[in-house]
A and B are shown apart, each in its own frame.
Chain A
């Protein structure tokens, strides 16, 4: 029995979802389908699309698949998630700092050095560089899932360039336009302050500059699948969206080329991997990089978010150690649990996992975005055989995890009826002076029945995620923002020629 977040085992709506279920019922399939058609039209018009490969092999622009049934997270539950995430991110940040400096955690025997140094995202170039404020993971997005009993687990960490926040904000805007009546009795926490948080965090970590720090968003270019998001963030923050050819380093200082010559850059929010950012330090064949950028970074003249080398913390083999990492640095028990994970670099765990090929999930450690993941129970024999050969050839780059049931939330099907589908959750955190987490996050949903693959590139969709305010009484209408009366303004002027003439004649008569 899967855990459904809207309806309980008996098919009745859960307490926080009563009003939502009633309103969905009232709208009915016809109106939900109509709203869906309007949604696709609006998304196409506004260019909120992603590239999907159709059956004929051609690449099509498809409207981003937003499902119209929101996901509800009660306020108390969200507070627990938020505390757990903040704890995790703080610990991961300490970990990155430690790995590139004293390596206390290695000397204490908690995480083996051989494992750290063999991670594909371990960056020797970052050694002994401490960014301003000691912040490395400025932007992070951990993937959370719920098991059959409804408890939350962290499935993956993502502290390199997590994407999806633009969809969180656009989804909310679309929902308020398409199905405003669903919001009826709820007070949903807003999400649109994220760009402001991000800008403030980037300014906070920028090296001291005269006046306002210059912040830029660095995109690999329009061909990148997340280009919409890069442009979205730059626009919302009011900063330049730059590509490598716009950036130049002179004497260890980073500049952008403008019509007025070179202008100093203080902070770069980069949306490309370490390997590509500086051909002098990383891949020499990278055309996307800026020669000398790492020199400037090392000289402390420019802040880069996320910092170089953070990929070592979201590696899937390091994931296995995150609870220990939290205990080591913070001396606290982890608030959010890990999914049980096996390191295939250890011979005993390797054999155990290979015996249970058809029961476990196998993931390559250095990948993200669901690439290379094999779900044992859903895979055929040939795939599993091939997987076993691959793993045996290179076990250090694989992990195995127990299968988590994944909770479900209903979606609107092609016929307008509701049916449950599996979901996960990616909340977004920004680490500037403090850690701030936008209420909710991106809920991704597998649109095929029974499927657990939620990635949008593989037929996944998304949902608006509602974190409710506390203290909402189900029976009272929600509190409106009550406002003290402002200044009394004069009535709006109305004027018509004939009224004026009458008035004039009146004046004329009075004068006589």
Chain B
């Protein structure tokens, strides 16, 4: 298939994945931010500053970010390239050039999504907005699953969506995890950071899954292990990478010689190994850094192999 089409499909998936995860993070932080510091410190939360850090930006004038500023910037602000509205606008523009490839229902789903955001027909209340975005994204992926031919085109779309999931969840983890060497009193992990892990889990909607899968209380180390390594949880980094790898190997004529597929396979094997030895949460920060680096390289590999590109922007390989 045309490199341009593959590229648009891949980024359609990525933009929608980003919109959804941004909305989910906002929901988690917003809910937790309204309440105070709990007696049981495992409830302390991701802050607005963390949220901006995840999105790769920081608060204006070095101040602590306020709730209203952050929400406005990340939801309907069309001038912010990372707002949900901007992500959806890009996804919709991409979809417009793909109308012969994707089904009519998919196009309608994404176009309606975009138009309602542009016309400000969506309630600006944070809860209503977040529910709307989640529902629309779910609608798009559901319609895609039912109506789109399982060909290369579908594989690239899927690969983009899952790749973005892996990237976003990993970003959340890197911001929420206590850095190496930081420990609270008595050598326990800092409770502040512990609580961020819980907020994060609730943000991605994985709280019940975690409760069913892991007997440990939702502290930083077990939550991070769950979100990083657990293959049976669909939004974990490992599961997303696995799905992206599978999609690319379907799309690729010769997956055994494909750098991105090989790189992701290697990364998965590494993740599995680390997941087995990371019983006490040691090495999680390091693992996150390595996965972050490998994902950036895989992103470059994908662009080079499939999109005929030198498509790397400057931020890509920093750190």
Q: A and B: real partners? A: yes
Shortest distance in angstroms between B14's beta carbon and chain A's nearest beta carbon? 8
Query: Is A332's CB within 8 Å of the partner chain B?
Result: no
User: Is A481 a contact partner of B35 (Cβ separation < 8 A)?
Assistant: no
**Contacts across chains A and B counted by CB atoms under 8 Å:** 157
**CB within 8 A of B53: which of A180, A189, A480, A485?**
A485
Query: Is A11's CB within 8 Å of the partner chain B?
Result: no
Known: A494-B313, A495-B313. A489 touches B54 (CB 8 A): yes
User: Is A180 a contact partner of B34 (Cβ separation < 8 A)?
Assistant: yes
The digit string for B283-319, where 1 denotes a CB below 8 A from any CB of A, is 0000000001000100100010001111101011111
User: Is A495 a contact partner of B56 (Cβ separation < 8 A)?
Assistant: no
B299 CB contacts on chain A under 8 angstroms: 493
User: Is B211 a contact partner of A188 (Cβ separation < 8 A)?
Assistant: no
Choose the segment among A49-57, A192-200, A297-305, A397-405 that binds chain B (4+ C-beta atoms closer than 8 Å): A192-200
Which of A188, A468, A497 has the most CB atoms of chain B within a 10 A radius of its CB? A497
Q: How far is the CA of A491 from the CA of B82 in the complex (A)?
A: 10
Query: Is A449's CB within 8 Å of the partner chain B?
Result: no
Choose the segment among A148-156, A235-243, A247-255, A414-422 that binds chain B (4+ C-beta atoms closer than 8 Å): A235-243
The digit string for A151-191, where 1 denotes a CB below 8 A from any CB of B, is 00000000000000000000011001110100100111110
Query: Is B113's CB within 8 Å of the partner chain A?
Result: no
B7 CB contacts on chain A under 8 angstroms: 495, 497, 500
Choose the segment among B38-46, B101-109, B247-255, B274-282 that binds chain A (4+ C-beta atoms closer than 8 Å): B38-46
**CB within 8 A of A486: which of B53, B296, B315?**
B53
Known: A481-B47, A495-B11, A503-B311. A190 touches B54 (CB 8 A): no
Shortest distance in angstroms between B39's beta carbon and chain A's nearest beta carbon? 7
A492 CB contacts on chain B under 8 angstroms: 18, 55-56, 82
Choose the segment among B144-152, B212-220, B233-241, B256-264 that binds chain A (4+ C-beta atoms closer than 8 Å): B212-220
Within 8 A of A (CB), among B59-94: 64, 66, 81-82, 90
B211 CB contacts on chain A under 8 angstroms: 235-238
State which size class the interface on A falls in: 35 or more
B40 CB contacts on chain A under 8 angstroms: 193, 196-197, 436
Q: How far is the CA of A192 from the CA of B211 in the complex (A)?
A: 14
User: Is A481 a contact partner of B44 (Cβ separation < 8 A)?
Assistant: yes
Shortest distance in angstroms between A193's beta carbon and chain B's nearest beta carbon? 5
A439 CB contacts on chain B under 8 angstroms: 38-39
Q: How far is the CA of A192 from the CA of B296 in the complex (A)?
A: 37
Binding site for A on B (CB under 8 A): 4, 7-8, 11, 14, 18, 30-40, 42-45, 47-50, 53-58, 64, 66, 81-82, 90, 125-128, 171, 174-176, 179, 192, 208, 210-215, 217-218, 292, 296, 299, 303, 307-311, 313, 315-319
Binding site for B on A (CB under 8 A): 38, 172-173, 176-178, 180, 183, 186-190, 192-193, 196-197, 199-200, 212, 235-238, 436, 439, 468-469, 480-483, 485-497, 500, 503-504, 507
Q: A177-B127, A481-B192 are in contact. List 9 more A-B contacts (CB 8 A).
A: A176-B34, A177-B31, A187-B35, A193-B43, A235-B208, A492-B82, A493-B315, A500-B303, A503-B310
